[in-house]
A and B are shown apart, each in its own frame.
Chain A
């Protein structure tokens, strides 16, 4: 985990090899395909996996059925270990969220993305800074000024899980504002949004899909999005606001950027033609109207990457997380 450069080049080399030797003969699965979800039923990753299962079934994209299995134990560590230990199993995939990086760093559970074979990035999930619509903060500046004018620990931030993506963003926010916040972990994104509506917390960094219903109902207000560019979706959501009208946090004076990977990995030791089969399958999934609907409902960033490009992105993201986690003091004590 220390020598990132070596890791990076290693990953790129692996993938480069994987792609350069694409065979002529197409491989096909011979029994049901398993998608592991390293999170509980009903969460964002689970939803995406099950939507894909439904799409593949409905459009008969694969001759074999797709099975979704949740392995949420140890912040998803259980699922990743299963994939890591299923060397050469070409009927197994895992959908990732940020716990691909945060779980091994925060808990010391021994796995790393390099223990697995990268397949494809399906999308990036966005994070938006939300406040209660009744709160006086209309813009990021109002919000940041209010934090700065008060002592430490005056603001409560709610988020999903502990030492995971939401808390990483919170720590980055603390760094940007110079004030500490109280971070209250909840078990799911929906619960976080409701806590914010109920004024039990002051702000949240919910994914768009978790909070959009409350936004439309006039209960929550988005302040900014933690991406480098604005969201693409221009349909009106609440009043005359669309996702596209939310400024980026950076442009609003809050220099924090974060997106979450929604991608697929396979166990180590699978053959390139097997990976190619799944890449092809995912490309077909992306063409369906149901997938497009899911993307626009959740205001996802629709980046799609495979091969070396994907591996490089993951390696960079790992480096980023390592820096953030280290700074926040979230790295597990060696045990």
Chain B
């Protein structure tokens, strides 16, 4: 196994004390960056990129990729504690993570989130180690139509899950699509729905909506119910980590499925966000306790976190081997490669062995270091919930405002954040689900873009979505997912009928 020899060489590079120190620094910075809403992994890496200029490329990528891992871990923390997802792919984590925190199970939720992140990443790294070239070529088969079909599948596997009235779900999702459409239309280069307002040029960023709808909305709801955080009684000792670990192996099937979804989404350049939603949606359908999802079910934390982290890790593969970034953070790392004088592409694996295998080894090590760092901090994070609401609430408001501002460096976004917060309060109270709206804002624009790119290619013919085996398969899977409740009903009825007949 030449790969293994290379990998061990990589480990020898990574395990130098200097590099291990950089790894710790990177993880800690990454967690901070991930926790602060708005300042996500992409920003964090971009901001710190110039600092790595005087390091060797291998040390630099170790530090930057560790910031990336740290941010992936960190995104889950605010989602679980305050219902504020720091990154798009932690939105699905809030659905069950936040209710768990409210029930005083924050430590459990955090442990589950961190551990599943680690499992997802590890799975993806092993895949990269063993089958990198094969997988990279698979990514090449994704044209606009294939990419659209992936988004389609993500929507279909998530839609129809909410217990809210169907027309409220529809209204919520469509408003999300509408908000996502504001700004520049990528395909025609035209401005739309901006009505001449300069503040609307950049549209409604997903983060602004999420910080408002989830974060501010939650603070308003808490205010209405009186000044208390219900999660006060959170257990804060390290035992909780081991107790949760005992429970987790039970969900191995769920983890495996989420890993596979994550890897696939990461390689096809759809990324971690659809992966997390898709994995959550499928888990809810398949799980025996599916009905409890959204009320604090640990599986609802394991599924999206595993998939998101697997996707986030797998997204680095097309970046290294093809030079196409699978995520915004990967895009910045890609810029870094070029700045250090490395050309990402098919030849990087043969020409820059030290670098590539050093990076892969640092994926293993970085995630192990990351897991240790965040797990030891679980009691500290959980203890944050003990801070009285009247102290933590204004601080959350301030951090949300800073987060909203830093997304586009636009003060108008801070105003919009508050508007979304009030909207979130009213929608939640009148039973409109927020998740479909957020999903639509995140993916709607990209889905529309790839849809229209496909139609440009096929000259307006919808046959583009059934043109080859790959795209037809994904579209069919999507349709099955969409009509799953009906199919399931039919199936049980058929079985019931057959059973009756057999009995007669």
Contact = CB atoms under 8 A, between A and B. Distances in A.
Chain A in direct contact with chain B (Cβ < 8 angstroms): yes
A185 B186 CA distance: 7
A272 interface: no
Interface of B: 42-43, 46, 49-51, 53-54, 139-144, 183-191, 194, 196, 198, 201-203, 269, 318, 322-325, 328, 331-332, 334-335, 338-339, 341, 343-348, 408-410, 449, 453, 456-457, 459
A122 B375 CA distance: 48
Contacts of B408: 71, 73, 78
Contacts of B323: 190, 193-194, 210, 213-214
Contacts of A58: 53-54
A47 interface: yes
A42 B457 contact: no
A107 B190 contact: yes
Contacts of A319: none
Nearest to B338: A47
7 contacts: A73-B203, A107-B190, A162-B189, A184-B144, A297-B338, A297-B341, A297-B343
Nearest to B344: A213
Contact of B332 (A42, A54, A107): A42
Given A41-B43, A57-B50, A297-B341, 7 more contacts: A46-B335, A73-B410, A153-B459, A163-B189, A193-B324, A213-B344, A217-B345
A29 interface: no
Nearest to A81: B198
Interface stretch (A123-131, A134-142, A195-203, A302-310): A195-203
A188 interface: yes
A12 B290 CA distance: 70
Interface in A104-130: 106-109
A109 B67 CA distance: 37
B186 A41 contact: no
B186 A73 contact: no
B339 A54 contact: yes
Interface string A320-334: 000000000010100
Nearest to A161: B189
A200 B453 CA distance: 11
A42 B325 contact: yes
A41 B42 contact: yes
A260 interface: no
Nearest to A212: B343
Nearest to A47: B335
A96 interface: no
Contacts of B318: 194
Given A41-B46, A200-B144, A162 B344 contact: no
Contacts of B456: 182-184
A75 B191 CA distance: 9
A270 interface: no
A186 B409 CA distance: 25
Interface of A: 40-42, 46-47, 50-51, 53-55, 57-58, 68-75, 77-78, 81-82, 106-109, 153, 156, 161-164, 167, 182-188, 190-191, 193-195, 197-198, 200-201, 209-210, 212-214, 216-217, 219, 290, 293-294, 297, 330, 332, 335
Contacts of A163: 188-189
Main SS class of interface, B? mixed
A167 B322 CA distance: 24
Contact of A73 (B139, B201, B269, B334): B201
Nearest to A74: B201
Given A51-B339, A73-B202, A153-B459, A216 B345 contact: yes
A304 B189 CA distance: 31
- Which 3 A-B pairs rank lowest in CB-CB distance, beginning with the nearest? A73-B202, A213-B345, A42-B331
Given A54-B49, A164-B189, A213-B347, A200 B335 contact: no
Nearest to A187: B186
A193 B324 CA distance: 8
A53 B324 CA distance: 24
A71 B405 CA distance: 12
B202 A162 contact: no
Contact of A200 (B54, B143, B185, B201): B143
A172 to B, nearest CB: 17
A195 B459 contact: no
Contacts of A197: 140, 322
A216 B141 contact: no
Contacts of B202: 71-74, 78
Given A54-B339, A107-B189, A75 B184 contact: yes
A216 B143 contact: no
Contacts of B322: 194, 197
Contacts of B185: 162
B151 to A, nearest CB: 14
Contacts of A82: 409
B334 A42 contact: yes
A74 B184 contact: yes
B352 to A, nearest CB: 12
B172 to A, nearest CB: 25
A78 B201 contact: yes
A293 B144 CA distance: 34
A107 B194 CA distance: 11
A293 B42 CA distance: 25
A78 B199 CA distance: 8
Contacts of A186: 453
Nearest to B351: A216
A330 B198 CA distance: 21
B339 A75 contact: no
A54 B50 contact: yes
Contacts of A51: 339
A275 to B, nearest CB: 24
B22 to A, nearest CB: 17
A70 B407 CA distance: 9
Contacts of B341: 293, 297
Contacts of B332: 41-42
B190 A42 contact: no
A107 B345 contact: no
